[in-house]
Chain A
Amino acid sequence: MLKQRRFLIEALTAVGLILAPFILPHLGFAPNTVNRILVWGLFGIGFDILFGFTGLLSFGQSAFYGTGGFFAAYLLTRAGFPHVVTALFLGMIAAAVVGYLVGLIALRRTGIYFAMITVAIAEVFFFVEFNPLSEWTGGENGLPGVPTPHFDLGFASFHFTTGWSLYWFLAFCYFVGIVAALRIVRSPVGAVMRAIRENPLRAAALGHNIHAYKLTAFVIAAAYAGFAGGLLGVLQAFMPPDAFTFETSGQLVMMSAIGGVGTLFGPLLGAAVWLFLQDFLQSALGLGASWKLVLGVVFVLLVCFLRRGLIGGIQDLYALATGQRHKREAPEEGIETAADVAAAEAAAPLPAANESPDQPHKGTILQAKGLTKHYGGLAANSDIDFAVDHGELRGIIGPNGAGKTTFFKMLTCEVHPTSGSISFEGRDITGLEVTDVCQLGLTKSYQINQLFNRLTVRENLVIAALAELRGKYRLDLLRRIENIPGLTEQIEHTAQLVNLTRRLDTPVSELAYGEKRRLEIGLALATSPSLLLLDEPLAGMSPRERVETVRLLKAIGRGRTMIVIDHDMDAIFELAGKITVLQEGKVLVEGTPQEIKNNKLVQDAYLGGMHEP
């Protein structure tokens, strides 16, 4: 949605902000109300980056709103600091620093734990403002006398005082805020944030340091909150202590949800609706204090029935009106023409990141020694010795419960072995994290699809490719994704390999099952691994899809080292050069397909010992 014409949204925002003072008064908005909406809107941009884009619902944003606000207000009132804008920025930095420290603690847990911790933290800040720091913050009196901004440019001087005059200053701040936020959500960091929202485990497995990215989102949200807090003081000429209350955090959450999260503009719209309703219900309908009851009911209904908020509702209506939904290409039910598959086969193998095609490595790429995993009393794997050479295509088979998936999880360091060691390209990787191992060039595709469901095929592949092109963490907040060298080629090449070129702009949720399976492989491929593990790539496919996927796997396997687990014996015998058979967590036998086929032990394992005595 945010990927339309360049600068279109920015331009529309600017036009909207310029026209607002000429239109809104006719709709019954007082200038002060509009200014408050802008402050909430700016506060909410950061929150939306945190919640709407990264998926972290914080009920503690008031802590940073208050911190930034009081820091700036203290500088301007008690410390006699003259420059309003500089003070606002210093407040923002203070909030960001506090956000970093708080984030270190709050982000130790995810989901509801995170929500609970943020609530607790915000409450602490409120009490700290009231008591231990009351000498600096004025306690329950707040800090009165916050000045308004004044610019002296020599030839002309501007003083933004109150009402519409102050509006222009706030509107400019909001505009800068939204432009920066748009850059951030369109940057590689923004892409990774969405990946974390959709599927944090896969984002980590693809080689992104998700903890660092979450912390980044948290600090960005705190910085926005801090700046908005400072503006609140400027707007009211007084820094109110209730900026720190839980109610402030709750109000922000509700406004964002009303407007629509994941849109950046949701909080602005939500604040407009909120303040308009407040005015309307309180004065026009004479409800007095009980207007919040109406609001609460409206909010509950909204969360129940309009989960994407007002902006989401408008988008749906628009799509319905224009019939956009129906125009979308109907899924082809996974039917590929022979030409597509042939194209995939023809695609030249993309060299893996740290492997030069001229001098193929020789020798062992992966070696596991004495690998053992116990779950309580259950031994999933015991004492597995396993080695794979460069360029090899290894198959692993074994009956259900043989410990194949656990074995893969240990190789990629998703779970750590109870004992034993793993070395990859001569380096001991035992005990490393899955993210680091992926960065080294070892990754896997999952038995059960682990995709980023609300994103398109292209966005999915971008997330995977970014990990390889940018490393596990980089703070390129203002960079455009399109400007990363090599990215487009890598995406297109991967899409070709897994035969999804024609589906690049389709959301994952609309793909057929076979296509999702291929994208699952594509995600792993797009990280340009030097060793690729595939966990049951054929699982759940129709016989026809299997045949085509086997052909694709052959094409992918050229010039690559792969280990494939599958139950489809014919496929494994066709693909693999060498096969390892696991049974009851141990290596039963290892050999060429022919040897495995004729092996007595293997036949016993599968047929349950129905041989003649």
Chain B
Amino acid sequence: MINWANLISQMFNGLVLGALLALISSGLTIIYGTLGVLNLAHGAMFMLGGYAGYVAYTYTESFVVAVAAGSLFVMVAGVIMERVIVRHFYSRPDSDQLLVTFGISICFVELVRFCFGSLSLTVPPPKLFAGITSLGFMFYPTYRLAVVGIIAVALLVLFIVLYKTRLGMIVRAGIEDSVMVSSLGIDVYKVFMVVFGIGAMAAGFAGIVNAPVVSLTPDMGEAILVQTFVVVVIGGVGSFPGAIIGGLIAGEIISITSMINPGYAYVMLFAAMTLVLVLRPRGLLGSASRE
């Protein structure tokens, strides 16, 4: 016997998680697509966004300021990380890039643990979206509905930046062939820095927007990172639409399976990834050239 109200509420949860994953994965995938670096610190960026927002919130009690501070802080952290460390790794093997970003992620996590401790922290939702909303057949937390909207707007902004601006055109061209872009006289390294900043900001923004839904812990980024990987494998590396579709698929799989048996959520997610790998190894919307 299926409990329809429960199913629909889980599907909403899936939508929230899916939207979140879509945004984080877009950040990861445009960084990888353009720079060729898989940022294993991306999950830590998500966590940093939440904590930076938390700090801003405790001082100002304004959620808007918290969101702005969280995303800007992570953007700056991303730019610094790219300038100081990652740029020296562009010509080194993939495995070195993975190792160094993995090391950086540990530094971020342990730094936050050092400053804030391991106990979980919470950020309340903004007053405008507090409480619950009646959808006629069930009640649902207002803020979660708002998250879907907020992230949809963020994705739209990202879409406009990527597809309607000169910078976006350069970034998309860089995903196709960054050598060619640099031979056209464009300073590819400056573009790399900007892309890294934008990608990190996407994760940081998601981190603070999600903060009222979950509680903050220093290692919250790890689980998100793993889910993000699955999303990228399903959607196809370097594909922005792929990240969105992959994110929504992953979010729904996790939520709906959790309703039946939470223990199998990852198994189902993994099964979906395996299916994609077997039937379409490059991902749903990935291009064949990128490996």
Interface residues of A (CB under 8 A from B): 51, 55, 57, 59, 105, 108-113, 115-117, 119-121, 123-124, 127-128, 130-132, 246, 250, 253-254, 257, 289-290, 292-293, 295-297, 299-300, 303-304, 307
Q: Are B100 and A119 in contact (CB under 8 A)?
A: no
Is B176 among interface residues, defined by CB-CB distance under 8 A? no
Query: Which residues of chain A are within 8 angstroms of B113 by Cβ–Cβ distance?
Result: 289-290, 292-293
Query: Which residues of chain A are within 8 angstroms of B111 by Cβ–Cβ distance?
Result: 293
Q: Are A300 and B222 in contact (CB under 8 A)?
A: no
Q: Are B266 and A123 in contact (CB under 8 A)?
A: yes
Is B98 among interface residues, defined by CB-CB distance under 8 A? yes
Tell me the count of chain B residues lying within 8 A, CB to CB, of chain A: 46
Q: Are B270 and A257 in contact (CB under 8 A)?
A: no
Query: Which residues of chain A are within 8 angstroms of B192 by Cβ–Cβ distance?
Result: none
Query: 8 nearest interchain CB pairs?
Result: A131-B263, A293-B110, A296-B106, A116-B229, A300-B103, A296-B107, A112-B38, A127-B266
A50 to chain B minimum Cβ distance, whole angstroms, is: 11
A199 to chain B minimum Cβ distance, whole angstroms, is: 12
Q: Are B114 and A290 in contact (CB under 8 A)?
A: yes
Knowing A116-B229, A120-B226, the reply to whether A299 touches B263 (Cβ < 8 A) is: no
Contact of B270 among A120, A290, A296 (CB under 8 A): A120
Query: Which residues of chain B are within 8 angstroms of A293 by Cβ–Cβ distance?
Result: 107, 110-111, 113-114
Is B67 among interface residues, defined by CB-CB distance under 8 A? no
Q: Are A57 and B261 in contact (CB under 8 A)?
A: no
Query: Which residues of chain B are within 8 angstroms of A110 by Cβ–Cβ distance?
Result: 291
Which of B55-63, B128-136, B158-166, B272-280 interfaces with chain A? Answer: B272-280
Docked Cα-Cα span, A182 to B40, in Å, equals: 32
Q: Give 20 CB contacts A-B under 8 Å.
A: A55-B95, A57-B99, A109-B291, A111-B94, A112-B98, A112-B237, A113-B291, A115-B94, A116-B233, A119-B229, A123-B266, A127-B266, A127-B267, A128-B263, A128-B267, A132-B261, A250-B102, A290-B113, A300-B103, A304-B100
Q: Are A295 and B106 in contact (CB under 8 A)?
A: yes
Q: Are A300 and B107 in contact (CB under 8 A)?
A: yes
* Chain A residue with the shortest CB-CB distance to B100: A303
Query: Which residues of chain A are within 8 angstroms of B230 by Cβ–Cβ distance?
Result: 116, 120
Query: Which residues of chain B are within 8 angstroms of A124 by Cβ–Cβ distance?
Result: 266-267, 269-270
Query: Which residues of chain A are within 8 angstroms of B277 by Cβ–Cβ distance?
Result: 105, 108-109, 117
Query: Which residues of chain B are within 8 angstroms of A307 by Cβ–Cβ distance?
Result: 92, 96
Is B141 among interface residues, defined by CB-CB distance under 8 A? no
Docked Cα-Cα span, A59 to B264, in Å, equals: 21
* Chain B residue with the shortest CB-CB distance to A126: B266
Docked Cα-Cα span, A270 to B75, in Å, equals: 34
B248 to chain A minimum Cβ distance, whole angstroms, is: 18
* Chain A residue with the shortest CB-CB distance to B107: A296
Query: Which residues of chain B are within 8 angstroms of A127 by Cβ–Cβ distance?
Result: 263, 265-267
Interface residues of B (CB under 8 A from A): 32, 38, 85, 88, 92, 94-96, 98-100, 102-104, 106-107, 109-111, 113-114, 118, 222-223, 225-226, 229-230, 232-233, 237, 261-267, 269-270, 273-274, 277-278, 281, 291
Knowing A57-B94, A115-B38, A115-B98, the reply to whether A132 touches B110 (Cβ < 8 A) is: no
B37 to chain A minimum Cβ distance, whole angstroms, is: 9
Q: Are A112 and B270 in contact (CB under 8 A)?
A: no
Q: Are A246 and B291 in contact (CB under 8 A)?
A: no
Docked Cα-Cα span, A310 to B91, in Å, equals: 22
A202 to chain B minimum Cβ distance, whole angstroms, is: 16
Docked Cα-Cα span, A289 to B237, in Å, equals: 36
Query: Which residues of chain B are within 8 angstroms of A57 by Cβ–Cβ distance?
Result: 94-95, 98-99
Q: Are B273 and A117 in contact (CB under 8 A)?
A: yes
Knowing A113-B237, A120-B229, A127-B265, the reply to whether A108 touches B281 (Cβ < 8 A) is: yes
Majority-rule SS of A interface residues:
helix
Docked Cα-Cα span, A304 to B100, in Å, equals: 7
Contact of B291 among A55, A111, A121 (CB under 8 A): A111
Query: Which residues of chain B are within 8 angstroms of A289 by Cβ–Cβ distance?
Result: 113, 118
Which one of B38, B103, B273 has the greatest number of beta carbons of chain A within 10 Å? B103
Which one of B102, B223, B291 has the greatest number of beta carbons of chain A within 10 Å? B102
Query: Which residues of chain A are within 8 angstroms of B225 by Cβ–Cβ distance?
Result: 119
* Chain A residue with the shortest CB-CB distance to B105: A296
Docked Cα-Cα span, A117 to B113, in Å, equals: 28
Knowing A51-B95, A115-B38, A132-B263, the reply to whether A292 touches B270 (Cβ < 8 A) is: no
Query: Which residues of chain A are within 8 angstroms of B88 by Cβ–Cβ distance?
Result: 304
B213 to chain A minimum Cβ distance, whole angstroms, is: 21
Knowing A57-B95, A300-B100, A300-B103, the reply to whether A116 touches B265 (Cβ < 8 A) is: no
Contact of B222 among A132, A246, A297 (CB under 8 A): A246
Q: Are A246 and B226 in contact (CB under 8 A)?
A: yes
* Chain B residue with the shortest CB-CB distance to A293: B110
B264 to chain A minimum Cβ distance, whole angstroms, is: 7
B201 to chain A minimum Cβ distance, whole angstroms, is: 22
Q: Are A109 and B281 in contact (CB under 8 A)?
A: yes
Docked Cα-Cα span, A115 to B94, in Å, equals: 10
Q: Are A304 and B232 in contact (CB under 8 A)?
A: no
* Chain A residue with the shortest CB-CB distance to B262: A131
Docked Cα-Cα span, A117 to B283, in Å, equals: 12
Q: Are B104 and A300 in contact (CB under 8 A)?
A: yes
Contact of B99 among A113, A253, A292 (CB under 8 A): A253
Docked Cα-Cα span, A127 to B223, in Å, equals: 11
* Chain B residue with the shortest CB-CB distance to A299: B103
B82 to chain A minimum Cβ distance, whole angstroms, is: 14
Docked Cα-Cα span, A173 to B132, in Å, equals: 60
Docked Cα-Cα span, A286 to B291, in Å, equals: 46
With A109-B281, A110-B291, A111-B94 known, 14 other A-B pairs at CB within 8 A are: A51-B95, A55-B95, A105-B274, A111-B291, A112-B237, A116-B229, A117-B233, A120-B233, A123-B266, A290-B110, A292-B110, A296-B103, A303-B100, A304-B88
Docked Cα-Cα span, A120 to B263, in Å, equals: 15
Q: Are B95 and A296 in contact (CB under 8 A)?
A: no
B110 to chain A minimum Cβ distance, whole angstroms, is: 4
Q: Are B270 and A121 in contact (CB under 8 A)?
A: yes
Docked Cα-Cα span, A293 to B103, in Å, equals: 10
* Chain A residue with the shortest CB-CB distance to B266: A127
Docked Cα-Cα span, A290 to B114, in Å, equals: 6
Docked Cα-Cα span, A121 to B229, in Å, equals: 11
B85 to chain A minimum Cβ distance, whole angstroms, is: 7
B288 to chain A minimum Cβ distance, whole angstroms, is: 12
Q: Are A116 and B232 in contact (CB under 8 A)?
A: yes
Docked Cα-Cα span, A295 to B111, in Å, equals: 11
Docked Cα-Cα span, A312 to B107, in Å, equals: 24
B262 to chain A minimum Cβ distance, whole angstroms, is: 7
Q: Are A116 and B95 in contact (CB under 8 A)?
A: no
Docked Cα-Cα span, A307 to B262, in Å, equals: 41
Query: Which residues of chain B are within 8 angstroms of A123 by Cβ–Cβ distance?
Result: 223, 226, 266
Docked Cα-Cα span, A295 to B113, in Å, equals: 14
* Chain A residue with the shortest CB-CB distance to B108: A296
